[in-house]
Structure 1
Amino acid sequence: MLGLKKSYQVKFHCFCLFLLQMAWDLVLCQLHYVIPEESKHGTFVGRITQDLGLDIGEVNSRMLRIVSRDDKDYFQVNLQNGIFFVKNIIDREVICPNIPLCIISLQVIVDKPVQMYHVDVEIEDINDNYPVFPAKEYSLSIPELRLPGSRFPLEGAVDPDVGTNSITNYELSANDYFTLEFPKYIQQVRSLELVLKKSLDREKMSVHNLTLVAFDGGKPRNNGSTQLIINVEDLNDNAPVFNQSFYQCIVTEHAVIGTLVIKLNATDLDEGKNGQILYMFSKLVPLQILSLFSLDKTSGQLKVNGDLDYENTNVYEIHVDAVDNGEPQFTGHSKVLVSVVDINDNPPEMTVTSLSVPVPEDAPRGTTVAIINIHDRDSGENGRVNCYLLQPTPFKINPAFKGDFAMTVDKPLDREIKSEYDVLINAKDEGYPSLSSSTILTIVISDVNDNAPKFLLSVDTIFIQENNPPGFKVYTASASDSDYSQNSYITYSLIDSTVDGIPISSYMSINPENGNLFALLSFDYEQVSYFQCQIKATDSGFSPLSSNLTLNIFILDVNDNSPTFFTHIADSISSVTVTTPKTAQVGHLITKVKAIDLDCGYNAWLTYTFKDTAVTTPFALSLYSGEISLTRPFTESDRNEYRMLVVAQDHGEPPMTSVTQVIISLVESGEDIKIDHHFSVGTDTEFADANIYLIISICTISSIFLVTLISFTVLKWQKYREEVNQLRENYKIYSSTVGSWVYSQESQCKFYLNSVQAKNDLIVFTPNGAQSSGTEENNSSGQGAILNSSYKPRHPHPDWRYSASLRAAMQGAVHVEGAAILRGPPVGLEQQWPTVSSATPEPEGGEVSPPVGAGVNCNSWTFKYGPGNPKQPVPQIPPDFPENFIIPGSPAIISIRQDQPSTQSQKSNFITFGKKEETKKKKKKKKGNKNQDKGNNPADNSDQ
């Protein structure tokens, strides 16, 4: 009896724990409704939208839906009024067999944004079932020797209802020998026993026919009955007795077949065959238990004979009998309570209940992407599940409700970096060893317009030859956009701007689809040589983005202008008439022709030749300077008038020419010399008109420099007296000094400022102020004067690019200076072309500016040399070009070669360098002035 009470107490505690777990589930849910079972379709359950705090107007648009764990539609929500009602009839005994508290867990999910609510519906039991006994009649044999108080277990009735609607009482028909005992747990009868009140006497009554009635606690009460037929036997009077009336043991689920659960032990006071005991299952044991356990008849060992599963049944109550071998047989009864210990044998089960894709790439942090429900059939720690992501992604998992997890955006998304994520979600329980399951969710990222079009270069340069045909494609703008679909569709346009007050749209046009840039007109280099246009690339996204390309457009010159001889009138002159004395000597400068070309570069580099070279004349025409000089003395056989055609030709491709006539008349020395004032070169008018501003500028700068130098010298006189004295001893500057300053590294004169030595020395080129000695005359008739015998003339570097301006500079700076200033022609003044030496000592990186006034539209030209520019052929140096010249910044030397023998007044027309040459020159100045005619004095010409 004590063991039986302990077993009942254990059952009572387990039942209490189960009820506590149910109550805790009720607390965790958000809504809890209670309805009776067998409710018809349309039965009102509650106003779920009002209870959840949802707006009825948003229920339909936010797609409210109900999800149950077993995917059965027991309930439905009216989306118009928010009423929660029964859809299908619910039988509590079908969905919750043998469970006291029947609860259907539901998930209410709404979208936009995603929200989830947990709702429990409790199904109340109604008394719709009667107690039923397994059999209508039971037969029981009881020896007459059984003592009062003996107990005989009976098979009770079964009622599918629960609680008070289940079996609460049994009644036995009135008799003097038997009574009923049935312990209750929370108003429910767990076991039924027949108790003998007094000894039986077979001679008085051998058979007892009793009626057993079972009642439930419902209203109204239902009952069921069965017949008990008790036979009294007058045989074996001692029954086997178990050493325990109640056995309790444990076994792990999935224990292997043959595992020993417990060994039963029973004894019989009889002897012989009446004391031999056989163990067997009671007839009360159901077939399910018989398939899971086996009982050895002789040893009483209870073993596992099938697969145990804690998730199906965690406690087994087994009735066992010990039967002796007497006549009649006596039976001892006991119970074995087998508790199954749970092991972690069920992995978590994942179900995606909501998935919101695609996700915009600008989705803020915390946006819900998916809701995942995870269920583990195990219990305790084996059933507690953690959910997380196995790979780094911009998403994270957050726990929502019991068994539910939400996947949200955790980091900024960028479709251009990654447009799709395969998110591997893993669910892992806390059992040992832990089990896990995983699933892959494909999350597609949708594009938003967050990238502006990009050009490969923000600034580009193109070159267009002038005279291009209108509509000519000059450039193709290409931009890329890393966005997708319409957000990446690019259109091109020109940003409004002006070129000399004219809109850029009058010059250029662009195809908005492919970015092809077209020239709307034919460009003229002489009018427009450079302009800018900006191209704008705009995408087609919502709130379009754009970027700009600055295009530098240079117009390239072509040889489309022929040379024009310079004149003050509108049209070019057809002829030029000049006079020269018959007593003119060899080398006398007769006149100088000049033409201009509106083109630039090689296209403007001009050469002069006589058209009819077969006619012999005593005149020579300089190829580059246009000077016409006397090649031999006049004789009596010469004519009084010469008519010659001068051709000016440029170096363009193809070359273009212009022709003018020069008429030279010979006069006696006493006659007046006439010059056609319409001709450009050698006239005072042209000199005044063309160079008046240049002369004013040079004089102004020279005056400022002179005043500054004098002021500086006076202020620093005491500090630099020795340097100034030394400078006076080495050099004496003549007031008539005329020439150009160049820098050389071989100079003997050193000039100091603030005690810091200058990087380059200063050399002064001086004109022929005195007659040269006989030695110098020989030198002048040779190849020219050289500063130092160790120096050799150097040819210009082949990488230089020569323009017409540079060539004019070299010719004008050397030849004109030697001819006009040093030789001193008797007629007119020649234009003295100022030279600008700006080349750097390094041949790879310098550039030379052209001489001022070298050509039309060429004042801003420079030429570059070095490996960065393609080489061009070096023009051949003409015979009258100076043989030796100085490359700025290098020790190369310029000298002038006289092609014809010169007179006494012209033999010393060469350039000398260094202190020694300058001293000789100064000593011979007075002597030369005495022997030289007044009209041929270079000093007079210089003054002019």
Structure 2
Amino acid sequence: MGSSKRRGGEVRRMLLSLLLLAAGEARSGQVHYSVPEEAKHGTFVGRIAQDLGLELAELVPRLFRVASKGGGDLLEVNLQNGILFVNSRIDREDLCGRSAECSIHLEVIVDRPLQVFHVEVEVKDINDNPPVFPMTVKTIRFHESRLLDSRFPLEGAFDADTGVNALLSYKLSSSEFFILNIQTNDELSQSLSLVLRKSLDREETAEINLLLVATDGGKPELTGTVQLLIKVLDVNDNEPTFDQSVYKVQLLENIANGTLVIKLNSSDADEGSNSEIVYSFSSDVSPNIKTKFKIDPSSGEIRTKGQLDYEQEKSYEIQVIAYDNGTPPMSGHCKISVKLVDINDNTPEVSITSLSLPIQEDAPLGTVIALITVSDRDSDANGQVTCTLTPHVPFKLVSTFKNYYSLVLDSALDRESVANYEVVVTAKDGGSPSLSATTRVSVEVADVNDNAPAFAQPEVTVFVKENNPPGCHIFTVSARDADAHENALVSYSLVERRVGERALSSYVSVHAESGKVYALQPLDHEELELLQFQVSARDAGVPPLGSNVTLQVFVLDENDNAPALLPPGPGGAAGALSQLVARSVGAGHVVAKVRAVDADSGYNAWLSYELQPAAGGARSPFRVGLYTGEISTTRALDEADAPRQRLLVLVKDHGEPALTATATVLLSLEDSGQAPKASSRASTGAAGAETAFVDVNVYLIIAICAVSSLLVLTLLLYTALRCSAPPSEGACGPGKPRLVCSSAVGSLSYSQQRRQRVCSGEVPPKTDLMAFSPSLPQGPDSAEERQLSESEQVGKEYREFIFLRKEKPTPFFSLCC
């Protein structure tokens, strides 16, 4: 008896050390407290705000809150002083059962910025549960023929407490027949049995009453009792015996219904009916065992009944009795210790809380987006869970505590590239084969104003015909903003400046929403050839962003100016031209020159001269150069010619429609007697005219070559730019583009204040380069032509004209308005 107590004390000390070690290992939270179970409401637990480094004034503004996993509202925090206190009754046995470790895990969350803390409150066991026996009165039958040291197993008491409070010691009331034998099994299990120390005699003692007391190790000690009623039986004096008193079996939790657990085999030394054995569960067996197992009375086979689940019950202890058929029957006892082996039959569970969505695209790295909790009901490796994320997303998982993770921003976001992420969180356990569970988190990226409106090109060239109607739409600017919502709402405005003495807004305007640019008044090519200005695009973000585009509006010439006659000489007045001509002059002699200019440009300023037929249809002895305006004789004059010749010269430009002017030339024919003086004057005048004519031709050739070179260079440069940019828009309809180069003889009137123009746009293919030399109208015969002076012949060689209008395969230019 003394040795049993010593062994029991050593076992208690070893178990106590193991419990303390396990409790020390369980303290792994950021903040750890402990509280005894059954503590009263308001019991102080800890200064949680102070221990977490939080200011009391921050608790309410930062939305300080406490969440408990499975703990309900057992604990609460006073937001005024930051103290964690007991809010309602804590029963450790209800909370953790008989688990050696019992803690309440609190998740403390504060916002602005988001922080998460983990607090572990250990619930300490108190001795509030007394030992309890399965029944208050137990009847035991002993045959009088039982041998000394015969044993009868007893069911021990159950204590709902843990640790020292659950260490039970037993004491049997004094008896001359029986003593109590205690054997310590593995863990905290003990086997009790009554040992017969003195032979029984039913005739002397038919019943024996004993009291078995169980005392736990708590302070104060609590006890439980059971009354043992021992009835002494007569006759059959051999009981069935098992080869082992305790059978240990391990079963997988997923075994099929009806699987054999063990086949018991007992023997009886009696003969006949006294050796026939019937097996049954002990009356002490709990109803739970009877729902999970069944026993065959004749064969002793124990099989599973229903589904076993390691997560519900990890082990079973089954008491079996073998009865013989003697009179009275005798029985033998054994215990089957069934331990379940966990298999990986539970998938991990993933829960997501505290989502901070949507997330701004300029959020800093490390921003917490969501809190993720994982769990697995399995044990050991089967319950060890690891979490992974979808690859190639700008997020990562950060482990904050065991089975607690934070989803944080790992790289920069750009809503214009990806506006929403479908993040898949996969939780995988360590079983074999492993099981996994997934959950999806839709992370929306909120827009910030980080993109300015952008035009397709920084500079746009637009061509508008002069004399456009007021309010004509000449172009539409368009800028694209990659942002969203109000950050992408673009408005347009003019960048105001002065054009000469007037404000830009008096010429053009832009619609704030559509970007349409309008000409507010008719434009005059002769007044303004190029209008250059900027249009600004601004978004509605805060702060707003913007950019500018430059518009170059070229005003194209129209034929709105008629030719204007020039005075015949310096200081002269425009009107009729009077000239004396000697009758002795020969054919081809230049007697006068009509001079005119046109305020238009290019083709519209190219003038030609025609001599109107004389009245009555008489053939005039004079002609006019088609492009020079020089009036010359077609034959030698004679006496039959009228002394006064009145010539009407029609001056016409090449516009569409053409505009004209009429010059009147009065020629007085002088007789031969006056011819020398007149001829001298005429010869001198003609020679001077020819010299001036040759000088003008040389200057015109140089000017034409310079302008043509500049034109070709401009065309090549502009064509290259147009190939790399979309065509500009002409809102008032396409025009008919033309480009005309001046005549070498100076008959194309071109203002020195005008510049060569370039038109842009897409039109059907037009003409190629075509060169031709219009000649003067022929005289009456070729002999007169051969009599031209050498100077006239030189001048004729320069009468070459170049026209551009052949078919081109490349895009040319369009006109507006």
The TM-score with structure 1 as length reference comes to: 0.72
2:629 alignment partner in structure 1? 626
Q: Supply the AA of the counterpart residue of 2:443.
A: I
More deviation in 542-551 or 470-479? 542-551
Compared with structure 1, are the counterparts of its residues 280 and 16 closer, same or farther at alpha carbon in structure 2 (3 Å cutoff)? farther
Please state how far the C-alpha of 1:260 moved relative to its aligned partner. Answer: 2.0
Partner residue of 1:856? 751
Q: Secondary structure at the match of 1:50?
A: helix
d(CA) in 1 for partners of 2:385, 2:739 = 86
Query: Which position in structure 2 is the counterpart of 1:50?
Result: 50
Tell me which residue corresponds to 2:718.
none
Does the CA contact (< 8 Å) of 2:590 and 2:630 recur in 1? Answer: yes
Aligned letter for 1:260?
L
Could you say if the C-alpha distance between residues 867 and 317 of structure 1 is closer, same or farther in structure 2, counting changes exceeding 3 Å? closer
Matched to 1:577, the amino acid is S
User: Could you tell me which amino acid in structure 2 is paired with residue 855 of structure 1?
Assistant: Y
Q: Indicate yes or no: 2:602 matched with 1:590.
A: no
Question: CA 1:446/1:903 → structure 2, altered by over 3 Å: closer, same or farther?
Answer: closer
Cα distance in 2 for residues equivalent to 1:536 and 1:875? 46
Distance of aligned partners of 1:174 and 1:348 in 2 relative to their CA distance in 1, 3 Å threshold: same
Give the Cα separation in 1 of the matches to 2:631 and 2:424: 96
What is the match of residue 641 of structure 1? Answer: 644
The answer as to 2:152 corresponding to 1:152 is yes
- The structure-2 alpha-carbon separation of the partners of 1:800 and 1:230, relative to structure 1 and needing over 3 Å to count, comes to closer
| Partner residue in 2 for 1:208 | 208
Distance 2:72 2:12 in 1: 34
Letter aligned with residue 610 of structure 2: T
Q: 2:84 aligned with 1:89, yes or no?
A: no
Separation of aligned partners in 2, 1:14 and 1:288: 31
Identity of aligned residues (%): 42
Partner of 1:770: none
Question: For residues 121 and 565 of structure 1, what CA distance do their matches in structure 2 show?
Answer: 111
Q: Aligned equivalents of 2:554 and 2:31: distance in 1?
A: 79
- CA displacement, residues 192-212 of structure 1 (integer Å, 9 cap, x when unaligned): 322222222223222112233
Q: Retained in 1: the 8 A contact 2:12–2:167?
A: no
Give the match for residue 902 of structure 1: 784
Letter in 1 for 2:589: H
State the Cα deviation string for residues 332-371 of structure 1 (Å, max 9, x = none): 2221111111111000011112221111122333322222
- Kept after mapping to 2: 8 A contact 1:647/1:657: yes
CA apart distance, 1:288: 0.9
Contact persistence 1:880–1:898 (CA under 8 A): no
The amino acid across from 2:669 in the alignment is L
Q: Look up the match of 1:605.
A: 606
Q: 1:18 to 1:110 in 2, by over 3 A?
A: farther
Aligned to 1:848: none
Q: What is residue 302 of structure 2 aligned with on the other side?
A: 302
Could you report, residue by residue, the CA deviation over 1:666-706 in whole angstroms, capped at 9, with x for unpaired residues? 123453449999xxx979799989979987999xxxxxxxx
CA-CA distance at 1:390 after TM superposition? 4.0
Between stretches 220-229 and 685-694, larger displacement belongs to 685-694
Q: Secondary structure at the match of 1:28?
A: coil
Query: Which residue of the partner structure matches residue 519 of structure 2?
Result: 519
Alignment partners' CA distance in 2, 1:904 and 1:256: 130
Change (3 A) 1:867 1:48: closer
Pair 569,907 (structure 1): closer, same or farther in 2 beyond 3 Å: closer
Match of 1:870 among 766, 773, 795: 766
Q: Is the 8 A contact 1:168 1:189 kept in 2?
A: no
Secondary structure of residue in 1 paired with 2:604: helix
Structure 2: runs of 5 or more not aligned = 703-735, 795-817
| 8 A Cα contact 1:564 1:572, kept in partner | no
Decide which moves more: 23-32 or 335-344. 23-32
Structure 1: segments with no counterpart, 5+ residues: 699-798, 813-832, 834-850, 883-896, 913-944
Partners of 1:30 and 1:108 lie apart in 2 by 11
Amino acid at match of 1:384: Q
Q: State the 1:157 CA deviation.
A: 3.5
Cα deviation, 1:438-462, whole Å, max 9, x if unaligned, reads: 1111111111122222222333221
Say if 1:286 and 1:173 are closer, same or farther in 2 by CA, change over 3 A: same
Q: Deviations over 1:729-764 (max 9, x none)?
A: xxxxxxxxxxxxxxxxxxxxxxxxxxxxxxxxxxxx
Q: Can you list the C-alpha shifts for 1:452-492, whole angstroms capped at 9, x where unaligned?
A: 22222333221111122443321110111111011111122
Q: Counterparts of 1:411-430 in structure 2 under 5 Å?
A: 411-430=411-430
Question: CA–CA distance in 2 between the matches of 1:330 and 1:467?
Answer: 131
What are the within-5 Å matches in structure 2 for residues 368-387 of structure 1? 368-387=368-387
User: Would you say the 8 A contact 1:280–1:295 is kept in 2?
Assistant: yes
Deviation at 1:257, TM superposition (A): 1.7
Q: Point out the more displaced range, 319-328 or 242-251.
A: 319-328
Distance 1:802 1:695, change over 3 A: closer
The residue type equivalent to 2:64 in the other structure is: L
In structure 2, the residue matched to 1:234 is 234
Shift of residue 21 of structure 1?
8.5
Distance 1:565 1:306 in 2: 123
Give the residue type in structure 2 aligned to 1:248: K
Structure 1 residues 395 and 686: alpha-carbon distance in aligned structure 2, compared to 1, 3 A threshold = farther
- Asked if the contact 2:493–2:536 (Cα under 8 Å) also holds between the matched residues in 1, the reply is yes
| 1:639 maps to amino acid | A
User: Structure 1 pair 106/572, CA: closer, same or farther in 2 (3 Å)?
Assistant: farther
1:474 match:
474
Letter in 2 for 1:412: A
The answer to whether the aligner puts 1:113 opposite 2:113 as a matched pair is yes
SS of the aligned residue for 2:784 comes to coil
Moved more, 647-656 or 867-876: 867-876
Instruction: Give the deviation of 1:496 after TM superposition.
Output: 5.0
CA distance in 1, matches of 2:663, 2:187: 141
Contact 2:587 2:787 in 1 (8 A): no
Moved more, 654-663 or 869-878: 869-878
Cα distance change of structure 1 residues 474 and 569 upon mapping to structure 2, 3 Å threshold: farther
- Are 1:36 and 1:124, in contact at CA under 8 Å, matched by a contact in 2? yes
CA distance 1:291–1:20, shift in 2 (3 Å):
farther
* Residues 635 and 780 in structure 2, CA contact (< 8 A), matched pair in contact too: no
- CA separation of 1:874 and 1:225: change in aligned 2, threshold 3 A: closer
- Determine the structure 2 residue equivalent to 1:462: 462
Cα drift, residue 88 of structure 1: 2.5
- Cα distance per residue 1:91-148 (max 9 Å; x no partner): 2222222334322222222334333222222222333344443333222111122233
Partner residue in 1 for 2:713: none
> Aligned partners of 1:857 and 1:544: how far apart in 2?
47
Residues 255 and 505 of structure 1, relative CA distance in 2, 3 Å threshold: same
3-state SS of paired residue (1:415): coil
The CA deviation at 1:62 is: 3.0
Deviation by residue 1:487-538 (Cα, 9 ceiling, x = unmatched): 1111223345555686644533322322122224432212321242222222
Equivalent in the alignment of 1:654: 657
Question: Residue 736 of structure 1 aligns with which residue?
Answer: none
* Letter in structure 2 aligned against 1:381: A
Give the structure 1 partner of residue 776 of structure 2.
Answer: 880
The corresponding residue for 2:723 is: none
- 2:340 aligns with 340
Q: TM-score, normalised by structure 2?
A: 0.82
1:77 and 1:506 map into 2 onto residues whose CA distance is 72
| Secondary structure of the structure 1 residue equivalent to 2:274 | helix
Q: Which amino acid aligns with 1:906?
A: L
Q: CA deviation at 1:164?
A: 4.2
After superposition, what is the alpha-carbon deviation per residue over 1:399-447, rounded to whole angstroms, capped at 9, x for unaligned? 3311112222233322112211221221111111111111111111111
CA distance in 2 between partners of 1:497 and 1:687 (Å) = 50
CA contact (8 A) 1:577 1:676 kept: no
Encode CA deviations 1:801-833: one digit per residue, 9 max, x unaligned.
673x53x32xx2xxxxxxxxxxxxxxxxxxxx6
**CA distance in 1 between partners of 2:71 and 2:624 (Å):** 113
Contact 1:578–1:674 (Cα < 8 Å) also in 2? no
**CA deviation after TM superposition for structure 1 residue 563, in Å:** 0.7
State the 1:75 CA deviation.
Answer: 1.9
How is 1:776-855 mapped onto 2 (pairs within 5 angstroms)? 803=740, 805-806=741-742, 808-809=743-744, 812=745, 854-855=749-750
User: Aligned pairs, how many?
Assistant: 749
Alignment of 1:734-773 (within 5 A): none
CA contact (8 A) 1:880 1:899 kept: no
Deviation at 1:910, TM superposition (A): 8.8
Amino acid at match of 2:750: G
CA distance in 1, matches of 2:375, 2:240: 49
